[in-house]
Amino acid sequence: VRLIVRGGIIVTEAGQVTADILCVDGRIAALLDPAERVKVDEVVAAHGRLVFPGFIDPHVHSRDPGAPDKEDFAHSSLAALCGGVTCVLEMPNATPAVADAETFRDRRDYLSARAWVDFGLWGLSLGTANIDKLEELFSAGAVAVKLFWGYALHKETKSLVYNIGDMPSEELLMPPSNGEVLATFAEVARLGGLIGVHCEDKSVLDVATADLGRPISSYNDFLRARPAVAEASAIALAASLSYATKCRFHVMHVASAAGAAVVRIARDNGVPISAETCPHYLTLADTDYDAIGSLMKVYPPIRSGEDQAALWARIADGTITSVGSDHGPHTLKEKRSGLASAPAGVAGVETFVPLLIDAMCRGKLSPQQLAALASTNTARMYGLHPRKGTIRPGADADLVIVEPERNHTIRADKLHSVSPVTPFDGRTLTGIPVASILRGVVVMEDGQPMGSRRGEFLAANHSLDAPQALKTQGGSADRRDRMTEGAASLA
Ligand code: DOR
Ligand code: ZN
């Protein structure tokens, strides 16, 4: 099957060029001069629009199986599709948690039967409890392993415990010790894998909560009970473990100026560290609490306007190299139950791309940076490049067509999740993903699915891509590499 995308402005991390994209049997076959005429079965007109490599959301908690009232994968992957994402990386903390290869394969098959977009799958690290399973998880194709450090998990289900005080301590699985995490990092390094860590130090949170001396009753209390130093100190400790072991370490959802500064310092000193942030940290601040309420409760918390500005600056200076939604859906009833007792988490897989496009249209990001942050760097880091994350011959024909001029308003009741709850309800955005192509087939137009479900599982290949992934984090020499690659892809 031959499809051509005509007249669009192709955006890669390296630059922009107007060219036609010929897709044959699901892959990109050639970039053609728009004057050239070729025989095709289908034409997609993209004149005056931007064409991005398919966007990847690397941080999605679909609760499936586990909590069907909050979300399931059929809905989250449809929401992803409608919001301009063509690939999601699913987190391992559904029930049962993906802590060994057998569960990994079961989950892979289960999600494959429900996927509207392509997907990769995370494994779960439980410290030494499953350190002997990390090899089989990476062999099975895990994009990375996740360590919920500082989080208590439920002993049986390995699900996250959002409010520790609400649960009897004998049901809790406490976070692994520093020594266990060191051993885990050493093992991930040996395997050439990647570990993604939720960085908040539980002991710092415990002291801060005790210092507060009363139940959380305002957003300011909430921030005092979860100070930025909990994040920064956990990153610093993990960075030293990463330095010692050479383990590739990705900081999930950096939310504070202090945390991002530690990432920068570590990287400048040779730690193989990288960092993610999320649209909610880039677009909301504590001052929004009065209007939004506990719907914006998330761990780590959304902080001040200065923290938000620092995160933008850390994107600009290359410290933060990937953005994920941390899609963490809960029911409206749960989210409305008050700041102290509401579960933490913000659903965001469907608003992920629109919020980033809006930021681009406001001049916070260049189109090239958007391509890098939400596609190319992400694909590289998680071992999916060059199949995903790039527009060049041989890559999967995953493309998202963006119309930068059109305004639209986010409406919770129009979202496709099981529980369509968002802190962004009513927000008007500029620019919109108008169509998506997944492996050469138009699968989304104007926010609606086209045709039938056709998402597939993707196994990560870290052995091929590990050196690449590190390269994207560097300075000017690496930039030259990327430019060359970009130029080659447009040749
Ligand atoms: O607030 C959060 N909720 N933070 C996380 O890291 C996980 C997420 C969830 O799964 O709901
Ligand atoms: Zn997390």
SS (H, E, C) 339-379: CCCCCCCECCCCCHHHHHHHHHHCCCCCHHHHHHHHHHHHH
Task: Take residue 115 and report the two structure tokens written for it.
Answer: 């996927």
Distance (angstroms) between ligand 1 centre and the Cα of 300 equals 8
Distance (angstroms) between ligand 1 centre and the Cα of 60 equals 10
Q: Which atom of ligand 1 is nearest to the CA of 61?
A: 10
Closest ligand (CA of 147): 2
3-state secondary structure of 229: helix
The DSSP secondary-structure symbol of 175 reads: P
Q: Which residues surround ligand 2, an ion (CB under 5 A)?
A: 198, 252
CA 142 to chain centre: 15
Q: Quick check: CB of 78 below 6 Å from ligand 1?
A: no
- For ligand 1, pick from 59, 61, 164, 231 the residue to mutate: most ligand atoms within 8 Å of CB: 61
Residue ID of nearest Cα to ligand 1 atom 6? 299
pLDDT tens for the 491 residues of the chain, in order: 999 999 999 999 999 999 999 999 999 999 999 999 999 999 999 999 999 999 999 999 999 999 999 999 999 999 999 999 999 999 999 999 999 999 999 999 999 999 999 999 999 999 999 999 999 999 999 999 999 998 889 998 888 999 988 889 999 999 999 999 999 999 999 999 999 999 999 999 999 999 999 999 999 999 999 999 999 999 999 999 999 999 999 999 999 999 999 999 999 999 999 999 999 999 999 999 999 999 999 999 999 999 999 999 999 999 999 999 999 999 999 999 999 999 999 999 999 999 999 999 999 999 999 999 999 999 999 999 999 999 999 999 999 999 999 999 999 999 999 999 999 999 999 999 999 999 999 999 999 999 999 999 999 999 744 444 444 443 333 333 333 343 334 33
Q: Which atom of ligand 1 is nearest to the CA of 63?
A: 10
162: closest CA among 82, 81, 70, 265? 70
Distances (CA, A) of 41 to 1, 103, 159, 436, 438: 7, 41, 47, 17, 16
Closest ligand (CA of 60): 1
Closest ligand (CA of 160): 1
Distance (angstroms) between ligand 2 centre and the Cα of 122 equals 13
- For ligand 1, pick from 149, 326, 349 the residue to mutate: most ligand atoms within 8 Å of CB: 326
Distance (angstroms) between ligand 2 centre and the Cα of 253 equals 7
Task: End-to-end CA distance of the chain: give it in Å, rounded.
Answer: 23
Answer whether the bond into residue 68 is a cis peptide, omega within 30°.
no
Distance (angstroms) between ligand 2 centre and the Cα of 228 equals 14
Q: Quickly count helices (H) and strands (E) in the chain.
A: 17, 22
Residue ID of nearest Cα to ligand 1 atom 4? 299
∠ CA 139-145-149, rounded to 5°: 155
What backbone torsions phi and psi does residue 31 show, to the nearest 5 degrees? -105, 125
Q: d(Cα 115, Cα 138) in Å, to the nearest integer?
A: 21
Q: Tokens 């002291």 belong to which residue? A: 207
The DSSP secondary-structure symbol of 337 reads: S
Residue ID of nearest Cα to ligand 1 atom 3? 345
Residue ID of nearest Cα to ligand 1 atom 5? 299
> In angstroms, what is the C-alpha Rg of the chain?
21
Q: Quick check: CB of 298 below 6 Å from ligand 1?
A: yes
Residue 464 region by backbone torsions, left for phi larger than 0, else alpha for psi between -120 and 50, else beta: alpha
3-state secondary structure of 65: coil
283 touches 355 (CB < 8 A): yes
Position 342: which residue type? A
The number of residues in the chain equals 491
What backbone torsions phi and psi does residue 225 show, to the nearest 5 degrees? -75, -20
Q: Quick check: CB of 327 below 6 Å from ligand 1?
A: no
Q: d(Cα 148, Cα 235) in Å, to the nearest integer?
A: 13
Position 454: which residue type? R
Distance (angstroms) between ligand 2 centre and the Cα of 15 equals 32
pTM of the model: 0.95
Distance (angstroms) between ligand 2 centre and the Cα of 425 equals 23
Q: Quick check: CB of 150 below 6 Å from ligand 1?
A: no
Distance (angstroms) between ligand 2 centre and the Cα of 248 equals 17
194: closest CA among 246, 145, 148, 122? 145
3-state helix, strand, coil in the chain (%, to 5): 35, 25, 40
390 touches 489 (CB < 8 A): yes
